[in-house]
Structure 1
Amino acid sequence: MKRVDADVLADLLRRVWYAEGDPGTQTVAARADLEFCMARATAAVAVECDGRPAGVCLARIDGGDTRPLPINRHHITACRSMLRLLRSAEGRRSASELVKLGVEGMMLSADARRQGRTYQAEVILLILDPSLQGTGIGARLLGHMEREFRAADVRRYFLYTNTDCNVGFYERRGLNRRITHVAHAHGRSMAYYLYDASMRQ
């Protein structure tokens, strides 16, 4: 993905998931989030509107990462963004939320392993410009990624999501909610989910 695309997608994340608070701080938080996602991705598909990226689906396919080192440039960029967030109270809260997302993901995966669930792929990120929601573009992005999964002989894949996201979209696509964690922080509750699906060959 080109640098300019990453900048545009980071701005998209900011508008969708990091809209509250100081725009500068939340832009850095969105960039850290995107870079952490890109650090693990082995497959990507994007959609453009008027020549600009308006949505993206990032995924990881087991065995698909041919990078020679476990740490790549996206990890480094994400860590730099996290360090920038530590300069302010709002930034520290945002950094804490990003860490919490990672921890919740690890807990959901640990529960899945205890249940004997195994996966060959993960949808890491699926985001679409709000103006394009309801147009079927999100379904096409996910459908494209599912075709890549089939081509790689993936039998089952999973994704993490939470109550801030459109979980109904995944249920309409036939994914199953397997695990739920509810966390309480800052006077509100947030539910984190692991959804999965079987690939019909």
Structure 2
Amino acid sequence: MEGYGRMENVAKGDAGIGVVYSPMIWSDVEAITRQFDETWGHYAPFGNDKKLSMLLSYHFVLHYIEPATRGEIAHKNGQFMGVVLSRVVGQPVMFGNVAQEMAKIDERLNSTPAGHRALADLELGFEIERRMERQTDINDKAPAEVELFLVSSASRGHGVGGQLWSRTMDYFERSHAPAFYLHTDSDCDVSFYDRHGMKRIAEREEQRHPDDGRDPQMAPSKMYIYAGVPGRVKQTVA
């Protein structure tokens, strides 16, 4: 998948006129990171430190890209509108250079006390997610995962979220994945997953785990795992 060329699909229907869906290429990482930071990058302990916020967002995005076997971007007139990163067990990852890029970002984060503290908290959060996976045995039940589902405010009214979602379900079905899952938290609109036929199979409330050591100013109040069957979930998309 690495490269600069694109194979594009133009959306059909009035709401989606002019929206183009393309396989992700490496140069999309910058736009994904900017949107991620705009959506979720307001880390309370660091006030207005935009540079640190962007580095943390870049780490998050690379974390989601590293295992991904598919990425699809929505854009219109050159403007980023959304992305889904997903993976299916046994399929090749999109990019082989993510670990090296993440090491560079982590070195920059660890160069300051605030960055070091933030990175340690992020890594603890990812470990908690892995614990939740082990507790539910979800990786034994679902060979597919949505790593990142992100749409911009500019995408509203264009059906971008629904299109990206439906196309990802098509990918899972083509890959013969009987089930999939995703991680999310109370900072996201989890009602989207409820409306689209997914089941909440795990819930973790931060205040009930004070001994885990997470920074309460960074940690979401609740963390969830949702799971679903691709064909059934796709039927709920208008």
Mark yes or no: TM-score above 0.5.
yes
Q: 1:129 to 1:116 in 2, by over 3 A?
A: closer
Residue range with higher mean Cα deviation, 159-168 or 4-13: 4-13
Mapped contact 1:112–1:118 kept (Cα < 8 A)? no
Aligned position for 1:62: 89
Asked if residue 86 in structure 1 is aligned to residue 103 in structure 2, the reply is no
**1:130 deviation in Å?**
2.5
Pick one of 174, 180, 199 that aligns with 1:157: 180
SS in 2 for 1:48: strand
What amino acid is the match of 2:122?
L
**1:46 deviation in Å?**
1.0
Identical residues among aligned pairs (%): 19
**1:63 deviation in Å?**
1.2
Q: Which runs of 5+ in 2 are unaligned?
A: 1-23, 208-213, 233-238
**1:133 deviation in Å?**
4.1
User: TM-score, normalising length from structure 2?
Assistant: 0.75
| In structure 2, C-alpha distance between the alignment counterparts of 1:52 and 1:33, rounded to whole Å | 21
Aligned position for 2:223: 192
**1:81 deviation in Å?**
0.8
What amino acid is the match of 1:190?
S
Pick one of 146, 149, 152 that aligns with 1:129: 152
Asked if residue 143 in structure 1 is aligned to residue 143 in structure 2, the reply is no
Q: Which runs of 5+ in 1 are unaligned?
A: none
Aligned position for 1:9: 32
Aligned position for 2:59: 32
Mapped contact 2:70–2:93 kept (Cα < 8 A)? no
SS in 1 for 2:206: strand
Residue range with higher mean Cα deviation, 180-189 or 73-82: 180-189
| In structure 1, C-alpha distance between the alignment counterparts of 2:54 and 2:139, rounded to whole Å | 38
**1:36 deviation in Å?**
1.3
| In structure 2, C-alpha distance between the alignment counterparts of 1:179 and 1:133, rounded to whole Å | 29
What amino acid is the match of 2:86?
A
Q: 1:48 to 1:75 in 2, by over 3 A?
A: same
**1:187 deviation in Å?**
4.3
Pick one of 108, 133, 136 that aligns with 1:112: 136
| In structure 1, C-alpha distance between the alignment counterparts of 2:49 and 2:82, rounded to whole Å | 23
Q: 1:96 to 1:49 in 2, by over 3 A?
A: farther
Number of aligned positions between the proteins = 197
| In structure 1, C-alpha distance between the alignment counterparts of 2:159 and 2:226, rounded to whole Å | 20
**1:73 deviation in Å?**
1.0
Q: 1:8 to 1:77 in 2, by over 3 A?
A: same
Residue range with higher mean Cα deviation, 133-142 or 117-126: 133-142
Q: Deviations over 1:8-27 (max 9, x none)?
A: 11111111111344111111
**1:177 deviation in Å?**
0.4
Aligned position for 2:3: none
Mapped contact 1:32–1:79 kept (Cα < 8 A)? no
